Structure 1
Amino acid sequence: MKAMSSVTSATPATIKRFEPAKAIVGAGLLLLALVVFIDASQLPPPPAAGVGPSAGMRFVAVLLAVLGVGHLVVAVRRGTAEAAAQREPMNWKAVGCVLAGLLALMAALQLQLGFVLGATVLFIATARGFGERRVLRSAAIGLVLNLLVYAFFAKALSLGLPGGPLERLVFG
């Protein structure tokens, strides 16, 4: 009589899963990349020397496309039952903090308060969403980083970012 042996695997069972939310986000990112790329192609050509205004937008379009493909790959990948069971639930408070920061950035730009102020508020909200409790530290770091970003784009690349009172004070 044959001895029956139980088959035990050292690795957890692989399961197939499809995550429609990630697929929708991936498709949305790919669509956004296409829109940005088409919009960039309608900008005037670069001057004889230097980088034109479309270079940054094309770079953003490529990054959005890479993110979109990554989301689609994750949406259809194979995973383990153990990994699926350990997935953490959505942190809606963190998502709300980041969305509030984005709304604050849009409001700051609409009210002509400037890029630096709006982006600093976004930085603070994002840091808060990721669990940072020291608001003044986040504000200082965000302010310095956003002043550097503004200086790079507005002064070094001569691209127009929305300026406000703070930008006029610092950069004249």
Structure 2
Amino acid sequence: MSLGGQPTGERRPDRAALVIAIVLIIAGLGMGWGTFTSGGVSMSTPVGPKTVPYIIAGALVILGALTAVAAMRGDFPERERQDFPPMLWIIGGLAVQLLTMKSVGFSIATGLLFAATAKGFGKGPLWKTIPIGIVFSFVVWLLFAKGLQLTLPAGPLERLFQ
């Protein structure tokens, strides 16, 4: 026994897992409430368009409760220490893509995300990964826009081929 009255080696509740449990429960309750209060569909049949959202909401609440129990028991394995700079590169790249998609188009914005993600994983210099990402993204844009006739944001590069 340790001085605190707990056996040595017993783990404390996992706070990160408790936060995840709370988020799962809130998401489930929010989805359930949103489904309950949404109008337009009568529930004259036992199975209808509101059934699946209720099932998903219930599953989220149950998973949140089970996650909370496991967190309180300390059942989660020890996690490695987080390395924040790579995560910041990836999150920053996603933010740049979301903020520039309409102004510079799909290919350039997604190419920047590709380069930032590569940098986050420690691969290649930006001067090399940005053009590679733009080329790959442009090929994806061509497949979706021309091959599947789907609309993706077009910028100066995409307008050359419209």
TM-score category, normalised to shorter length: 0.5 to 0.7
Aligned partner of 1:90 in structure 2 is: 82
Establish whether residue 159 from structure 1 lines up as the match of residue 157 from structure 2.
no
Structure 1 pair 27–102 and aligned structure 2 pair: CA distance change class (3 A): farther
Aligned partner of 1:108 in structure 2 is: 100
Which is worse superposed, 130-139 or 118-127?
130-139
Distance 2:26 2:104 in 1: 30
Structure 1 pair 153–16 and aligned structure 2 pair: CA distance change class (3 A): farther
Letter in 2 for 1:127: A
Establish whether residue 20 from structure 1 lines up as the match of residue 33 from structure 2.
no
> TM-score with structure 1 length normalisation?
0.52
Aligned partner of 2:117 in structure 1 is: 126
Q: What is the aligned length?
A: 120
> TM-score with structure 2 length normalisation?
0.55
Structure 1 pair 95–166 and aligned structure 2 pair: CA distance change class (3 A): same
**Could you list the runs of 4 or more consecutive aligned residues of structure 1 that deviate by over 6 angstroms after TM superposition?**
13-17, 27-31, 71-75
Aligned partner of 2:6 in structure 1 is: none
Structure 1 pair 74–94 and aligned structure 2 pair: CA distance change class (3 A): farther
Distance 1:28 1:130 in 2: 33
SS in 2 for 1:99: helix
Distance 1:141 1:164 in 2: 17
Identity %: 32
Distance 1:148 1:93 in 2: 29
Letter in 2 for 1:167: E
Distance 2:108 2:122 in 1: 21
Structure 1: 5+ residue runs without aligned partners? 1-12, 39-67
Structure 2: 5+ residue runs without aligned partners? 1-8, 36-59
Aligned partner of 1:142 in structure 2 is: 133
